[in-house]
Structure 1
């Protein structure tokens, strides 16, 4: 029987869920508060320059392939992928960087040159990470977080100790060079927590990095949003932008509709891909599952200060993706998680998509995206933003040995206040809730409301967690729960 389903938000998880729900024959409509779709993965264009506002790393290509395969499609039916080589560079000093290549053999050679014997250790470490990746993808990550029993399989029992050890300690047992350690700790930052607080099992992210490689959709991550949007439309989904949700209507403990721009829209099922905490504020207090105290007790992934910059020349001595670890890695992490404050000396990330995609900038020019991870809930104002831009642009010029400050055509910033305004993000978080031991799987906020029938959630604050591939999976899991309820 066809049901009317209203989906709040148009990020990766919402778009993915819409496809699965429409495939089952339901009448699905997405309501997006902003003028364009994509949520955190929106696109920004100015004066011939194109930017991905949010995600810019395409990892775990097998998850994207599995998503499209569910509809008898392939990613290549909707967008073209380019494998980056080098995948990225990590800068430690003036013209002092380590390049991570697109194959493990070259990466092993780089490690061995820096630390004798480390290539063999790396091969063992990545083999273990590959095993964990296989278990995560085949046995764990596609489970809905309903019961702790989901984590117990023949394979996971053998790796039980890895849920109680942490990534940082495991890496430091195998490697001594601090630069190599930081490179290996970097991938789990995508999960939103310090490596010392992330269960060892999550080293599968190192296989995602060194084993599966870093890819780039031909004209940016928004290609993927456009691709899933096209699939959704082919399946009959309706998408309405500039549609702000003001309330979720509940009658007899059952969600029956939403109020959009002052208009009541009836629906049999409500699925929210918007920020989970914000979504519950659309309900009367008696229908909210998680209290303010609960949200305040959670460990959130960082917010970010972003800069979108158009340069009137090509930038030298730089790769498509670049990480700047020339300052104290641990101190910056402490400034995010232990004693939240603006870091005195921030690590930062730079992305120059026009190195790969010539259409991202006018001829002879460069598109630049800079990111500083910050504690969520931190003070945000223009004075601080400008001060931190000066910090990182000065270091960028020193580390890459070039002057670029006078070649800036324009500069736009985006920070905690914007995450709150544009995405209703709790404390202005950029990546959702961290995947710590006590915030993993069934310990995360649930996909299905415990208090309101026919109300569901998807996205980075629920299972499986932060990141684009998990967002796709979250959409599938939510859709499967809905489909199960409709059959019962």
Structure 2
């Protein structure tokens, strides 16, 4: 039986869920509070000619993204040009900088120069990481995670030891490398998973394979091109988008969601998929219908929030790559400030993205487009003076790295974005930027459920449920939930007299 389905939010999981749900023959409506699709991956343009991606900037795991388009008999190439970056990124330490080359053979040579014997160890590491990637991204992450029995297939059982689920990522990396810079290079990708390397399962070495071996890419026109492409795919299936449409309440009766209140108007649906913040979605329900209470959310480990600056410079800046990681200070000290001390970092690490090095259309001719991102703890007290303090420190380190001076005087566009903005724009719990951390205690079945336990036709998707944070996992999350919704029977809305 075909259904009338509402999707709350148009981030990657919402776009994915919409496309797959509509492909199955359902009538699908997407309600987005903003004036454009994308959620955290929105884009904005300035009056003086800059184009800024607001969220994701690392295009990793291109095969996973490509598989979405393949399911609709198309390819990303029909929507945007994908450029492979070489070098993939640069990591800046206190005494040197390391550029990560695109060819894997060159990466092995680089490792060997830094630590004798590590080139061969890197090959061994990536062979294992490839196995985890193939099993993890094809079998492990594609489960709705209702029960551990889903993982009792012969293939997953045979793979259990090789997946290194019970070893933490830091210990695992230390088995291969002893040089602290190589360790930092290998540990950096799990920052996207939202926890210390000491808390992340070694399974996630698959991130190293998905990034370093499969390569770092950039969609010309900005990461938002992926949003636009997925929206076009969804619309081709018949999905209807409603922008500037905030869902204010979820009504329920007889064990089912009956309607949504949208901009003060009541709309009835057979099923609802919430791609919005999980905690916020539940706040729209009467308390007795929520999966989790406040104590549950307080007990969770969240991925960081972040302080972001979107900057336009009136001149080109030399000696700067598309992606640059500033790791001059101790990695663990910054991580501790996020997860243990819950305070603003004293010696922060940060990331600079300069897409105008690859794409001349994101900045006026002769100008530079840069955004700076510093991970911070969720729930911090925030004041404008904090933003400016860290802004000036990041600019000083950018000047030192690039050999330029007086960058402040060259800024012709500046906008900051921090935890309170994530909360205001996305209803993000405690202002988190990346969802729920992928710790061992928050993996698979231990994540918040995709199904509401009391309302048979309410589902959740996105970075706070399975499979976890990141663009490819969010796309997968949408596909998983669409399949579950399609199994529903006897949920047709009928008006009671």
> Normalization by structure 1: what TM-score?
0.98
Structure 2 matches for 1:6-155, cutoff 5 A? 6-46=6-46, 47-93=48-94, 96-155=96-155
Q: Which runs of 5+ in 1 are unaligned?
A: none
Secondary structure of the residue that 1:121 maps to in structure 2?
A: helix
CA RMSD of aligned residues (A): 1.2
1:140 and 1:150 in contact (8 A); partners too: no
1:378-433 CA distance string (max 9 Å, x none): 11221110111011111111122212222111210000000000000000000000
| Aligned position for 2:443 | 440
- Greater mean deviation of Cα atoms: 228-237 or 146-155: 146-155
Structure 2 matches for 1:303-322, cutoff 5 A? 303-322=305-324
| Aligned position for 1:463 | 466
Quote how far apart the aligned CAs of 1:45 are.
1.1
Secondary structure of the residue that 2:175 maps to in structure 1?
A: helix
| Aligned position for 1:476 | 479
CA distance in 2, matches of 1:487, 1:315: 61
Matched, 1:166 2:168: yes
CA distance in 2, matches of 1:109, 1:30: 49
1:220-240 CA distance string (max 9 Å, x none): 110000001111111111111
1:243 and 1:260 in contact (8 A); partners too: yes
Secondary structure of the residue that 1:453 maps to in structure 2?
A: coil
Secondary structure of the residue that 1:367 maps to in structure 2?
A: strand
Matched, 1:248 2:250: yes
Quote how far apart the aligned CAs of 1:93 are.
2.9
| Aligned position for 1:389 | 391
- Greater mean deviation of Cα atoms: 469-478 or 244-253: 244-253
Q: For the structure 1 residues 262 and 393, does the alpha-carbon distance in structure 2 shift closer, same or farther, using more than 3 Å as the test?
A: same
**Count, aligned residues:** 487
CA distance in 2, matches of 1:155, 1:448: 26
CA distance in 2, matches of 1:406, 1:159: 56
Q: Which runs of 5+ in 2 are unaligned?
A: 492-497
Quote how far apart the aligned CAs of 1:150 are.
2.6
Secondary structure of the residue that 2:488 maps to in structure 1?
A: helix
Secondary structure of the residue that 2:86 maps to in structure 1?
A: coil
1:10 and 1:38 in contact (8 A); partners too: yes
Secondary structure of the residue that 1:485 maps to in structure 2?
A: coil
CA distance in 2, matches of 1:351, 1:155: 40
Secondary structure of the residue that 2:425 maps to in structure 1?
A: helix
Secondary structure of the residue that 1:227 maps to in structure 2?
A: helix
CA distance in 2, matches of 1:5, 1:82: 36
2:94 and 2:329 in contact (8 A); partners too: no
- Greater mean deviation of Cα atoms: 156-165 or 39-48: 156-165
CA distance in 2, matches of 1:358, 1:153: 49
Q: For the structure 1 residues 487 and 99, does the alpha-carbon distance in structure 2 shift closer, same or farther, using more than 3 Å as the test?
A: farther
1:303 and 1:429 in contact (8 A); partners too: yes
Quote how far apart the aligned CAs of 1:30 are.
0.5
1:93 and 1:399 in contact (8 A); partners too: no
CA distance in 1, matches of 2:348, 2:320: 19
| Aligned position for 1:236 | 238
1:292-318 CA distance string (max 9 Å, x none): 000000000000000000000111111
> Normalization by structure 2: what TM-score?
0.96
CA distance in 2, matches of 1:189, 1:314: 29
CA distance in 2, matches of 1:158, 1:121: 24
Secondary structure of the residue that 2:142 maps to in structure 1?
A: coil
